[in-house]
Structure formats: structure tokens, C-alpha cells
Amino acid sequence: MACIELDRLVKRYADGSVAVDDVTLEIADGELMILVGPSGCGKSTLLRMIVGLEDITSGEVRIDGERVNDKPPHERDLAMVFQNYALYPHLNVYENIAFPLRLRKTPEHEVRTAVQRAAEMLELAEHLPRRPAQLSGGQRQRVAMGRAIVRDAKAFLFDEPLSNLDARLRAQMRAEIARMQRRLGATTVYVTHDQTEAMTLGDRVAVLRAGVLQQYATPRELYEQPANLFVAGFIGAPTMNFAPAHIEDGELRLPFARTPLPPGIDAANMHGRQVVAGIRPTSFEEAQFVDAGKQRCGATFTAEVDLVEWLGSDQYAYIPYALPHTRRAELDALAAWLDRETLQPQLIVSLDPARRVAEGATMRLWVDGSQIHLFDPKTGKPLTNGAAGKSS
């Protein structure tokens, strides 16, 4: 396996547009690194620069310390799995998996051993005589993975391999990819726009926006200590709630409640300051179930439920809050930070799924002030819980 280093990589096209902007990242030997971000953020371009399918404008790609910028893809010894499987329809599963070994003129007994090993690992042994058209989407993706495995490459690169599968198959294939990566101990770079894949698969996750690396850290660090507003809004499902707020008289004044300041905030120096408050849906509880001692750490407020989403294991209530028209500009600025067209003055609140909550019902809710993230509305940087992961 291999260590992959990206040193100040830039990809600029002839028209001047920049797809990758000064990205520095080190992928350790045996690590599963996820590249995640919205469509058009440069993650697939970055992957193609690593494998050699995209020219590098400036910067370096190093594999095990060796600069490979000028090496063609076949000399970098990297195995790539694409979104569209790229299988040969006229070849059966056995020959599709064996194809890269045939190109190398590998002896037949070695081909047979390698294909059988990969097929057993991916539960494809009984399908070896079949052709791709006779397989399900998940099976075809496993064939593509098998073709990568037999190459015994320095690293595996996945470009949104599960995006063509339905939700059930995606969950199944995530588990299979995770097991395969652990079994092989393979250095792996995996591109996705699906944060569920990112959070469940990655040893570390690199978040990109408009070609710029925003933060790379473990999934837990990204969730608990985002480096900026964009990361905070991108990581987490449902997304973090955001609201314009300000600090006054040692309190955080939200549009719907007043709470004690989160830990680490110097009330004296922050008096009168405008901030953005970020609150995870799980930081709310029904006030009636919060004991008196705990209630002092947050604030209780009354809200009307607009919409309820019951998912069996989870339940979410959508709760609008009043915001003066003069402050809507703050929401518009916040939407720009989060790359969203608009941002509504509403909260998404996680509730006990066993509770029956009706739309239009009035609830008394409690928000945990100690779990609120504060951000600078001008820079997007956190004012609480200093970012744990490295960022740009």
C-alpha cells in the first residue's frame, strides 16, 4: 500500500476557471480518506489528478514520496472504481475481473487464484459465468471492485461508486466496501457527495467547497467541532439549525429564546456582538422531560409545530420562529455562506419517535445552551469549540 501526498494542488482550465485551489492533504498508508462536498466542488477532479486522468496546473502529487505528476496513469499503480462500473458487456464476470491481469499477461494459474480470491471476498463466486446484463446494480459494482482488487495496486480510488444504486443497496455496499478496506488494509480515496457515506466510511473526511479544502478531520471532529459555517451546515442530517443572534448582558439572545452563553465565551468582551448561532436538532428536548437542574443550562420556549417527519427510529418537528423583516438580510448572508438559495426562519427539532406529535400542536421546548455553536457572521469562523480538524 502507499502514502499519498497532495502538495498545493491547483487545477485551472483554459478559460480561467479554477476547479481545485491550493489543496494540501496527506493520506496515510492504509487510511480510508473521504473527499466530500456539494456537486461542482472539485472532489472528482482532485481524484482524477491523483490517478493521472487530469493534468495538474501546479503543485505536486507524491506516492510513497515519489513525485508522479508526469507519470501516466498505468505507471502510478492505482486502481480506480467508477460510478458507471465500466464493465465489458460481452465478457462474463470472471473475465471482467481478470481483465487487468490479462493486460499484464499474468500466468493463467495466478489469474485463476486472484479472481477466485476476489470473487469469494465479494460474494461473487456463483456469478462468475454470468454477464453484466444478468446482474443487479449492486453485483455489477462488486464486479468493478473485484477488478480493482486483483490488481494488487498501491491504492484504491473510488469515484462516487454507489450513486447509481437505490438506498437499500447503498447501505449494503457501504458495509461491503468498509469490510473490504479493513481486510486488505488498502490506502483508499473515496469521493462522494453523500455525507452518510462520508461519516460512516471514512477514517478521516476532507470537506471541499468551490475547489478549496475547508477542513479535514475524523467524522466525529467534523460534526462536533466544524471549522466554519459551511462545514457546520454541510455535515449532519438533518442539517444544523442556524439563526442570527447577539450577545447582551451575559446572555445569548436568539430570535426565539435567551440562553446562558456557551462555554468559552468571554461575556464582557463579546457584549453587543452579532453572531450566528448553530444548534443541532438533537440539542432540543421537550421541556417537561428536562429536570430543573439541567434547565438552568439552557432556555425554555413555546413553539408551534408546522410539520412532522416520522421515520420510525427518528422523528423531527419543523418549527418556524418570528424574525423581524429588518433581519432577513442576515439570513440571506447566512444562506450564501451555506451555498443555499434561501434560508427559512425555522428550527428542525429531534423528538422521541415514540411520542405522537400533531402538526399545529403547541409545544414547550428546551434548548441546551452549552451545545450551541457560535460563528462570526463576517468570517464564518467558530467562536466556540475551536476547530479540532485542520482546515484551509
What CATH number corresponds to the domain at position 374? Answer: 2.40.50.140
Which DSSP state fits 319? Answer: E
> Distance between alpha carbon 142 and the CA centroid of its chain, in Å?
22
Looking at the fold, whether 226 and 90 belong to one and the same domain comes out as yes
Cα–Cα–Cα angle for 283, 304, 326, rounded to 5 degrees: 85
> What's residue 74's pLDDT?
87
Looking at the fold, whether 152 and 112 belong to one and the same domain comes out as yes
Looking at the fold, whether 373 and 252 belong to one and the same domain comes out as yes
Q: Output the DSSP codes for 14-33.
A: TTS-EEEEEEEEEE-TT-EE
Looking at the fold, whether 225 and 284 belong to one and the same domain comes out as no
| 216, 390 contact by CB (below 8 A) | yes
Burial 266-287 (b: 16+ CB within 10 A, else e): eeeebeeeebbbbbbbebbbbb
Q: Output the DSSP codes for 139-180.
A: HHHHHHHHHHHTTT-SEEEEESTTTTS-HHHHHHHHHHHHHH
Residue 93: CB atoms within 10 Å:
27
| Backbone phi and psi for residue 277, each to the nearest 5 degrees, phi listed first | -95, 130
Write the CA distances from 343 to 39, 333, 339, 340, integer angstroms: 19, 9, 10, 7
> What's residue 389's pLDDT?
46
The number of distinct structural domains making up the chain is 2
Residue among 2, 373, 17 nearest 156 (CA): 2
Say how many Å lie between the first and final Cα of the chain, rounded: 27
Which DSSP state fits 40? Answer: T
| 207, 222 contact by CB (below 8 A) | yes
> What's residue 386's pLDDT?
47
Q: Pick the last residue of a domain from 198, 214, 230.
A: 230
Q: Pick the last residue of a domain from 230, 265, 281.
A: 230
Looking at the fold, whether 221 and 279 belong to one and the same domain comes out as no
> What's residue 205's pLDDT?
97
Looking at the fold, whether 208 and 342 belong to one and the same domain comes out as no
Contacts of 110 (CB under 8 A, 6+ apart): 101
- CA 207 to CA 205: how far, in whole Å? 6
- Can you read off the three cell numbers belonging to residue 109? 494459474
Looking at the fold, whether 17 and 153 belong to one and the same domain comes out as yes
Residue among 23, 98, 33, 35 nearest 61 (CA): 23
Low-confidence stretches of the chain (pLDDT beneath 70) = 1, 385-392
| 374, 384 contact by CB (below 8 A) | yes
- Can you read off the three cell numbers belonging to residue 364? 414547550
| 80, 190 contact by CB (below 8 A) | no
Q: What is the CATH number of the domain that holds 185?
A: 3.40.50.300
Looking at the fold, whether 112 and 38 belong to one and the same domain comes out as yes
> What's residue 76's pLDDT?
93
- CA 163 to CA 235: how far, in whole Å? 18
Residue 391: CB atoms within 10 Å:
17
- CA 304 to CA 359: how far, in whole Å? 8
Residue among 65, 45, 22, 59 nearest 154 (CA): 65
> What's residue 209's pLDDT?
96
Q: Pick the last residue of a domain from 230, 249, 282.
A: 230
Domain that holds residue 214: 4-230
Contacts of 219 (CB under 8 A, 6+ apart): 198, 199, 200, 202, 205
Looking at the fold, whether 31 and 64 belong to one and the same domain comes out as yes
Looking at the fold, whether 325 and 223 belong to one and the same domain comes out as no
Looking at the fold, whether 104 and 56 belong to one and the same domain comes out as yes
Write the CA distances from 34 to 9, 173, 180, 204, integer angstroms: 17, 16, 16, 6
- CA 56 to CA 25: how far, in whole Å? 15
The amino acid at 313:
S
Which DSSP state fits 238? Answer: S
> What's residue 388's pLDDT?
40
Looking at the fold, whether 195 and 251 belong to one and the same domain comes out as no
